[in-house]
Each structure stands twice: as C-alpha cells, then as structure tokens.
Structure 1
C-alpha cells in the first residue's frame, strides 16, 4: 500500500495530520496562554486539565489492543456482512489502530516496519445454528499472546550503519522456479548480502521454461517499497553502477545445501572484496534454516514486509479478496492438481487409467522431472504423504473436519489436469467453489494471462485474506502462507497430516463418526501457534514463532 505525502487514507476515515506545533497553534488554549491578563489560578486549572486529559488519552490507547485486522488502504469499506457473519473486532478498534500507525508513519526519512506489512481483512465470527463440529471448524487459533517483534541486537544495528551505505561490493542473484520458489531465493539473497556486507542488486527472475513466464522483478513486486523497507539492513540498488559493469564477475551456480553464514563469508567475502561483484545462481534451499536470531528476523522482514506485490497485482488481488469476504467467511484451498505436479511428485491422479497412463508415460520419458526418492513406488509415495490430496480425498478430509456443505471455497492453483472431472468429487460435496477466473470480471485478468507468477500472486492474496487456508500438498506457497497468516494474526491454517490419515481412508471398519473424531483430533495443532523447533530445518518463514514473534516487547504493529 503506497502512501502519498502525508495524507492518510483509511476505509472509514481520511485525515491530513499536522505537526504538533500546527495543532497547538490552532487550539483554543493558545489564546489562554498568550494573554497577559490570565490569572495564576486559571493557569493552574488549565495545566491540571491538560495533564488529566493526557493521562486519560494514554489510558485509552493502552486499553485498546492494536488491531491486526485493520483493512488495507487499497480496499474499499465493506458492506455490512450477514447477521451470522459478524466481524471479530469492532470498527472503532480498526480505526484507532489505523490512526495510531498512520500518525506516526508520515516521516519518510524513517521507514516504519509496522506500516509496511500486508494486513488481511478481518476474520468473521460465524454464529447461528451450528453443530459442535462446525463450530470447531470455524474457530480461530488462540495466539497465546505472540505478536510480531523484529527488534535486532545492538551489534546488528551498529554494523548496519556501514553495511547500508556499501558502494564497492555488489551481489547479483538469479532466482529460478515459480513465484514462491523465487520468493524464497530473494529472501535468502537479502540475508547473504547482509552476511557479505554487500549491496544487493534487485534480483533477476530467470525465465521459467515450464510455465513460459518472462516476468521480471518489477512486474511482480514493488521495487521502491522493497528498497525502502530494507534500507536499514542492506543497500538495494536497481542495477550495477557503471564502475562495476566491466569488472571481473565470478558466477557461482552450485552451492551445497544447508550452508552457514560462516561458510558464506569464508567462501566469498575476500573474493567479493577484491572483485567487487559476485553472481549467485541456484540458491534454492541452500542457505541453512537455522541462522542467528538477527538473520532470522531479517528473513521475516523480507518475507512479510519488504516483498509487497506490485500495484496492479495488489489492487486486483484485494478486489477479488473483498468480493469473497463481503459474502461471509470462506476457505481457501490450494489444490495441487496440475499435470506438472503429478509428474514431479511421481504420483497418480486417481481419475482412472486413461489419465494415469498419460502421467506415467511422461514420468518414464522425462525422469529428470521427478523430485526425490526415485525408487519408491506410487503406493509407497502416497502412503508416505508425498502426493497431493486429490479432489475425492480432500472432500473426505473436509467433511471429517466438520466443514458445512454450504461453506464457500476459493480454489487456488493452476488448471487441474482432467479439467472439471478432476474437481467433480469435491464439487459434489461442496458446490460453492470459486476460482479467480469466475470471481474476476470481464477483462480484469487480461493483463496477467501471460504471467503464471502474477496469477499465482493473485491466488496468494485471496488465500491470505481467507478465514481458513488448507493446502492439498506442502510446497512453497503453502509454507509461505502458513507463516504469513500466523504472523499477521494467527489465522487458521490446516496442513493435512497425510502420512497418518491416508491409511485410515482405506480402513472400511472405521465408522464415519469415529473417522471424523480421529481426523479432528489429529489436526488440533491448527488451533495454536506452532513453534519452530531448531535443528529440524523448519523454515522460520513457515514457523515465525518464536524468532519473529514474541510475548513481550514493543511489537511491530
């Protein structure tokens, strides 16, 4: 959300803040203090009144928690939801939070992290004639008091003064893959630039051969926002300066997995200092997930604050999200049913021999696309939780969780292999399915049809704003959204425990009631913050607690 000058735009109210001297100059109290005829007693009375009023104001501000459900400025004020879908926080709290953040954010010389985050629409409180299972399904997690906190150490801040002004060393990073795979590499690129004390050139997004996407970084992300948000951590430049265009450039295409900051410095620092430019390729999952606290916080700052989608994408994504939101609560399903997913995972579609034959032939003719555990059979892969849930399995899972038949679903993801047939088992149980193609109005998607990354970004925004998010498979988008939704208010995300529950799907001796009870119990962890366990290579972007969220401190928002 871009701000223009000092004007604050809010869905409910619009004001132009003044400086403290301007506010004081127009106050009626000014005339009292300026006259020489004012009695001493009156002056004492006025001073007492001001002190009392100040303490009252502080008490009110402290009484209201800062809302994490404040609506983005680019979204128009919503119409009133239906009686059964009331909002979780009052409009007065939203207005107060917006004013408090806005009045402190007009000073462009000091980037404010709290005002740079993408904040979702409020969750709905679902009421009415609901079963216990439905109430449990819609219930949001208890955040346990965890709020975003990105306070860095004194040592980190001291080093920032030099690093943020670097003009001699430059890191160039080429990011590969789809939107969220590239997103992860950009996050690591910022961290590596910080480790090497180098300026970062705006990352290059390599042309995607699978999706034929030629999008560049400015097509997907707000470059100026990216640079501004990170300027206290790393200097980001749009391109190499002319002094470095012709210097020797070392290009590194292969980096081992799980490398530490020490390895990065030992390998590249001296060389970069001498040559001035370093080009890195193939960063995907190379940097260790277990970094020092300051660098973990930097990862969160990049992911949840700096990487804001470009204006046209953000605007349309917000419009699509609002169209879903005004009708009441909705669930976002990220279904990984595309042809390339079935090929890469080594799995079968469940649509019958005709479709499975096509996938099997591609897998045999192009084995290089298969990702990991090559010698496992399809059955072994499925029971190990390595395959996406197909539409039938997702329908059974949702019913067991207590999702009502009338629930509204936003379907994120590409065109499913098999078309409408691939979704038929899900549509039969839950008829209210919506995709961006049906949600968008005529011509709205046209500017993005040749960019799979932009279309994926639209799915990301609508899913981000949903009341509940459920991915059918792991993947980068599922992990990113899980962490992003936790960071901005502990919104419910349910990751299917496929490895444990799939054998239950095959057990006909279990009654539907017992099956439902087991499935709900198995996914109770979606009702509380999930802590990142160090040493198990869990990404802080998916699990921002406790490195980027804490119970104490000033917080971010």
Structure 2
C-alpha cells in the first residue's frame, strides 16, 4: 500500500507542535517554581514540587533587598515604686551633650543615680560642642512628657533651688551604664558630703550589650532610655514632614527608603582612615556605600537619605549610582531651614538625623559608634530591624540577609533586655 507524502508531512508537523507545547508548559512551571522562592540559590525540591502543582498567581516582581517591619515590641520592664528608696534632700544636676545618641544614655545614667541616692533630678539643659552653646531642654524635647514618665520613679524638678550655686558643685564623672557598685563606691560618698552633685557621663566604650541581670536598676535604666524622651511638637513636625517627603519620592519602591549615616567631616577624621585594632573596617565612603547597596540589589530608583547636612562633592559617586540621594538641605521644609540648618549649633541637625534614621525602612551605618548603636535600639523597639552593616562584597551580588547587624541576628542589643 502506497504512502501519501502529504499525510507524512502533516503528521510530522503535528508531532512537532505537541513537542513544542510540552516544552513551553514545562518551562512555565519551572519559572513559576523559581519565582516562588525569590533570592534562594538552592530551591528545596519538595517545595518546588508543590509550587509546580500550584496554580497560584505569582507577583510580577519580588521585593528584592527590602524586608517588611517586624511586629512592634512591648516594654517588659516593671516600673519600680518611689517608696522603695530612702528619700534625701539633695539634687542631681546634669547636662545633655553631643547629640541625641548621647542624650539617650546620659538620661539613663542620671535617672539611675538619682533614684539610688533618693535625690531629686533636675531637668537638664542641652549643651553643644562650642563654649556657650546652651539651650533649654524644652527647645528639643517634650518636658511635660519627660516629667510625667518618671512620676513614681524619681522626683523631678524643672529648676534647682534659687539659693543653690551651680558654680561650686562637686562634679562626679559617671561611666555609661553605671552600676550600683560604682554608685556606692564613687558617687554616694560625695553626695552624702556635698548634698548636691553634677554628673558628667563619659563613654569608655560603646557598650550596648544585652543584660540578663533583671535588677531594679535595669528596669529604671530601660524606662529612662526608651520611655522618657519625645521630641517637642515643632521638631517632631519637621521630622514627620521629611519622612513623608522621602516616602513620596519613593513611589516606585512603595514608599520605602534607605537612611545612611554618612558624614563627610567624620570620614575625614583620622579614626576613619584605616581599620581599627580588631582589623574591622569602621567607616565607609560614599563610593563604598554605593557599591554595597548596588550589590545587595537596590536599584537606581532607590531613595537614599544621608545624614550629611549639605551636598559635598565627595558624595557624587553615590549619586551617580543612586540619583535619588538627598541630604537634609534637599528635603527639609523651606520655612525650617534657617532654624535647623543655618543655626550656630548643630544640635537640631543631629536630632533630625537621629529620628529620620530611626524611621527609615532600611538603616545603613557608614560610621560605627554610638549613633549607630542607639538608633539600632530605637529601631528594635519599633520593629524596624532592617539594619545593614556595610562590608566589601567581592561578588557581583549578595543577599541583604547576610549583612543584618549582629544586634538583630544575635539579639544581643540592650533593647532586647527592655522589650519583649
């Protein structure tokens, strides 16, 4: 029986179409399985099998390096009663200095000391780095909130007695995170003799390690550090408007933005010129930050906020990679520039930076130190745990998860002693 050549050709074409269709179906399922696990280099076979069988509609693009906030933590310290301490007639006086990252720790130490001594705490003034640079507490912070938060814990007064001469006060140096043993040995004898003392907190090291002691002084320190300081309304409005502006500029990333603590004058400091004694790099330039963020997968439309006040040419290398990079000068409300940026003191600028960095979706400390550590504490409390520590990345890409600060990955920050 003869073979019809047309039937043979038709059969081959039909078979070819089925083979092509089968390949298309298999490729669609494979791509879907990959998209189900964005960022994973090695897909679990069992999960892949489930994904191939699923008909769930997948998102068009993954979140990339962005990560959602964790649940906000709750304060787990107990508020000790004032009648647990013998009350005395003296006063503890102190000043807030060097910026909000120091204020948080200075407040904690002063409250712990005043409570242990049974003394009355005087609301502090705020002093800048230049002689004579002094302002009242309420110019930056909500004084009513401060006093109310300490009710029943320690007595607080806005002003020392008029007859008290502040010039002849005994000045007592206090190490950050002062202990009861230190108070007993070095502070209490002077207080008993003088009646009133002025505290001067110093920082022998950046110590933000978690404590497991659970003593009453730890509860007092937690309350003082995380429950007493709120910005006064005008300054809070400035911070809120800047954060809103940054979110508006970040439409393509669903309002998410990155804050980078990068200050040119500190990068030029000799402490940033090389690695520290442990061999760990402690400062990163604009060019290094640009490379770091790019390799983590942040795209060119990412909005970046820098703690540098006004633009400096050394920042151009970062803006070349991420055009939407801004300093305070570029986003601060025009009617607030004179007060915040053109002031003779930098106190307002530091405060704005601290609170914007505390609210960003991602925080990157280009400079190690107390600013980084205390911003981390504030972020942990609010669930904003996306804190990425810079490092040199030799590959062309990397996962942001690998660069989460040890404060978060190991939960060894002091904040985890205070919140749960």
Give your verdict on TM over 0.5. yes
> Does residue 452 in structure 1 map to residue 373 in structure 2?
no
> Does residue 203 in structure 1 map to residue 124 in structure 2?
yes
**Residue in structure 1 matched with residue 5 of structure 2 by the alignment:** none
Counting only pairs closer than 5 Å after superposition, residues 150-549 of structure 1 correspond to structure 2 as 150-152=76-78, 157-158=80-81, 160-161=82-83, 163=85, 166=87, 168-209=89-130, 213-242=133-162, 244-245=164-165, 249-252=169-172, 254-255=173-174, 260-285=179-204, 290=211, 292-293=213-214, 294-326=216-248, 327=251, 328-347=254-273, 378=274, 380-381=275-276, 384-415=279-310, 419=312, 421-448=313-340, 449-450=342-343, 451-496=345-390, 498=391, 502=392, 504-505=393-394, 511-512=395-396, 516-517=397-398, 520=400, 522-524=402-404, 530-532=410-412, 540=414, 544-545=415-416, 547-549=417-419
State how far apart, in whole Å, the 2-side matches of 1:528 and 1:141 are.
13
Q: CA deviation at 1:177?
A: 2.3
Contact conserved, 2:309 with 2:328, CA < 8 A, in 1? no
Contact conserved, 2:361 with 2:384, CA < 8 A, in 1? no
Cα distance change on mapping 1:262 and 1:531 into 2, 3 Å? same
Contact conserved, 1:166 with 1:235, CA < 8 A, in 2? no
Q: For 1:157, what is the secondary structure of its paired residue? A: coil
Q: CA deviation at 1:203?
A: 1.9
State how far apart, in whole Å, the 1-side matches of 2:301 and 2:272 are.
34
Q: TM-score, normalised by structure 1?
A: 0.57
Q: CA deviation at 1:343?
A: 1.7
Contact conserved, 1:492 with 1:527, CA < 8 A, in 2? no
Cα distance change on mapping 1:182 and 1:341 into 2, 3 Å? farther
Cα distance change on mapping 1:298 and 1:494 into 2, 3 Å? farther
Q: CA deviation at 1:387?
A: 3.6
Q: CA deviation at 1:243?
A: 5.5
Larger Rg: 2
Cα distance change on mapping 1:486 and 1:433 into 2, 3 Å? same
Cα distance change on mapping 1:256 and 1:299 into 2, 3 Å? closer
Cα distance change on mapping 1:299 and 1:285 into 2, 3 Å? farther
Cα distance change on mapping 1:412 and 1:332 into 2, 3 Å? farther
Q: CA deviation at 1:433?
A: 1.4
Q: CA deviation at 1:278?
A: 0.9
Q: CA deviation at 1:398?
A: 0.4
Contact conserved, 2:241 with 2:333, CA < 8 A, in 1? no
RMSD: 3.3
Q: For 1:278, what is the secondary structure of its paired residue? A: strand
Q: CA deviation at 1:330?
A: 2.8
**Residue in structure 1 matched with residue 65 of structure 2 by the alignment:** 137
State how far apart, in whole Å, the 1-side matches of 2:166 and 2:401 are.
61
Gaps of 5+ in 2: 1-57
Q: For 2:92, what is the secondary structure of its paired residue? A: strand
Gaps of 5+ in 1: 1-126, 348-377, 506-510, 533-537, 551-557
- Per mean C-alpha deviation after superposition, the further-off stretch among 289-298 and 185-194 is 289-298
Contact conserved, 1:185 with 1:284, CA < 8 A, in 2? no
Q: CA deviation at 1:526?
A: 7.6
Q: TM-score, normalised by structure 2?
A: 0.73
